[in-house]
Structure 1
Amino acid sequence: MLESLFWRIFALNAVVLGSATALLLWAPVTVSVPVLLTEAVILVAGLAVMLVANAALLRLGLAPLGRLARLMATVDLLRPGQRLPASGGREVAEVIRTFNAMLERLEQERAASSARALLAQEAERRRIAQELHDEVGQSMTAILLGLKRAADSAPEPLRRDLLEVQEITRESLDEVRRLVRRLRPGVLDDLGLVSALTSLSEDFAAHTGLRLVRRFDPDLPALSSETELVLYRVAQESLTNVARHAEAEEVSVALRHADGQVVLTVTDDGHGITVPREGAGMRGMRERALLVGAALEISSPPHGGTQVQLTAPVARRHA
């Protein structure tokens, strides 16, 4: 669009300048009659100089609009702060300022809508986890007790079958409890972020068989419940991605405090990022980061693998 606008303006200017040159060439009051070759060469050369100067000035004047068009084509509301300086002429600068203001408003609206959606999602997870714990968990516990009583009094062939069913039920109950912890980690509410991340990483290592290294600073500051939940969910999603896609052998989870910020880093030694477009899981992590004003960076370190780093500001913990 911008290129087409440039050439339309340039063509109109060329028509005007060409017409002026033609008048100078053939009007009897301006040049010799008949037109001398030297006069024609000078006039044509002057026209060429004017066209080149006109093109250069147009390029310079429309350059801010070019930068604006490129930003409009690539802007991502999950990466806030992308702005353009209001340069160029008065009209062009006004267009850029209007676009920056619109982008600011859209980022605020996106952050607010994401916050509402994520809070509703956490409330639904909490409800489902509570129902799984209270209804399904208790029912399966009762089934286990009934199977144990039946197995204790059953003859040997039937007793062996009942013990097998009891073991299957116990494994299913453990899986339900694991799902409950994933949906709503009670240890996060009861013991804090470090204990929750420790439990999460131990559970991850036990189910995947990968080597896991933890590095947690001992002097971490108190964080708000929202920030702790975002850090936990980002770590959870990062470890899930490692288990599903990375084909890694070792994973490290680090949590440190630096310059009034808490930095969570999850690094694996897998094959790294291979897709150019982020999936739903990564975009979900970016939405969670916006909820607490954190910055999320996903990169491939020089030595290979993938690194997810979340930098969250330290805020006062809610009572």
Structure 2
Amino acid sequence: MSLFGRIFLLNALVLVIAAMLLVFGPATVSTPAPLREVLVLAAGLVVMLIANAVLIRVGLAPLGRLTRAMTTIDLLKPGPRLRATGHGEIAELITTFNSMIDRLETERGYSSAIALSAQESERRRVAQELHDEVGQSLTAVLLSLKRVADQSPQETREELLQVQETTRSTLDEIRRIARRLRPGVLEELGLVSALKALTREIGDPAGLTIKRSFDKNLPALDAETELVVYRVAQEGLTNAVRHAKADEIELTLTARPSEVELRLRDNGRGIGDSQEGAGIRGMRERALLVGADLTVGPMLKGTEVRLVVKAKGEGE
């Protein structure tokens, strides 16, 4: 039965019962109506309205659940689907809503995969150009400065040496940026070595104390999953330094049966009630791409980032 039919039937049922009570009941209405009859009619009207409201409320309760789900759903935090309770159009509406969310999650995952793949390709291109073009140019400048400094008088040589040191620092910074854009260590030496290099690269300049703990004999991960773990760790460490103002971070990589867990804890100021920024949402998108579970939440002091990924060949 349609929603209109159900509401019409409920109202008709209440009105028919009220009419039968008036026809077959002992109550009568005089003209003019005395106070006793007015009170009886008022009480009957109140009972009719209450019964009508209760019946309609019960019939429309699934729509209330659907409305709450529509206002709170987040495609980056997949959750269980609504049960298609109710009758007729209500159950059909809930089923259609669930199908729409499934399609949106699939399309978002596909679009995110394309966007992140293009982002990684662009990062590799930029890193390669920084290393090959800019890096080589600055190296040539350093050699030229050294040659000129060796042939210059003492007072000019000191200035040239300062310029040489500035150029060398710039070259080191460019190489550091290139490594962040394209983690060559990840491709060549694996995830654990890449995370160790990442903690040194981020922690040493900022004066951070980073406690690392990596299990041995970790389950094998495919290249895409390893990159997701690396990027989540990179974003978590960067957030702890830039936003949380932490001075101590704990990074662990734990082996589980057919899974690997990355856990990052800091003693910073925490995320509090603030909304998630682009960095955390980017981590969620990456986690969804490989079917991983990501949780970001506050602790008594600081923030915890927890990522659980499936080992190679699991969940396929």
Q: TM-score, normalised by structure 1?
A: 0.88
Q: Counterpart in 1 of 2:160?
A: 162
The separation in 2 between residues aligned to 1:201 and 1:29, in whole angstroms, is 86
1:133-153 deviation line (CA, Å, top 9, x unaligned): 110001111111111122222
Which residue identity is paired with 2:66?
L
- Superposition RMSD in Å: 2.8
Post-superposition offset of 1:154: 1.9
Q: Counterpart in 2 of 1:304?
A: 301
Q: What SS does the aligned partner of 1:304 have? A: coil
Q: What SS does the aligned partner of 2:243 have? A: helix
| Of 117-126 and 137-146, the range deviating more from structure 2 | 137-146
Do structure 1's residue 95 and structure 2's residue 57 form an aligned pair? no
Which residue identity is paired with 1:306?
T
CA contact (8 A) 1:263 1:309 kept: yes
Q: Counterpart in 2 of 1:286?
A: 284
Post-superposition offset of 1:38: 6.6
1:9-31 deviation line (CA, Å, top 9, x unaligned): 69x949x9579858976x79985
Which residue identity is paired with 1:190?
E
CA contact (8 A) 2:210 2:248 kept: yes
Post-superposition offset of 1:41: 5.3
The separation in 2 between residues aligned to 1:214 and 1:240, in whole angstroms, is 16
The separation in 1 between residues aligned to 2:261 and 2:162, in whole angstroms, is 46
1:149-298 maps to which residues of 2 (within 5 A)?
149-298=147-296
The count of corresponding residues between Structure 1 and Structure 2 is: 307
The separation in 2 between residues aligned to 1:29 and 1:295, in whole angstroms, is 66
Which residue identity is paired with 1:273?
I
CA contact (8 A) 2:18 2:48 kept: no
Post-superposition offset of 1:45: 3.6
Unaligned runs of 5+ in 2: none
Unaligned runs of 5+ in 1: none
Q: What SS does the aligned partner of 1:310 have? A: strand
Identity %, equivalent residues: 57
1:258-315 deviation line (CA, Å, top 9, x unaligned): 23211111110011113431111111111111111111101011x2100111111112
The separation in 2 between residues aligned to 1:311 and 1:166, in whole angstroms, is 46
CA contact (8 A) 2:219 2:259 kept: no
Of 79, 82, 97 in structure 2, the residue corresponding to residue 84 of structure 1 is 82
1:11-30 maps to which residues of 2 (within 5 A)?
13=11, 21=18
Post-superposition offset of 1:92: 1.0
Q: What SS does the aligned partner of 2:213 have? A: strand
Go from structure 1 to structure 2 and tell me whether the alpha carbon gap of 1:161 and 1:87 turns closer, same or farther (over 3 Å shift).
same
Go from structure 1 to structure 2 and tell me whether the alpha carbon gap of 1:158 and 1:64 turns closer, same or farther (over 3 Å shift).
same
Which residue identity is paired with 1:146?
S
Do structure 1's residue 125 and structure 2's residue 123 form an aligned pair? yes
Q: What SS does the aligned partner of 1:179 have? A: helix
The separation in 1 between residues aligned to 2:184 and 2:310, in whole angstroms, is 24
1:47-86 maps to which residues of 2 (within 5 A)?
47-86=45-84
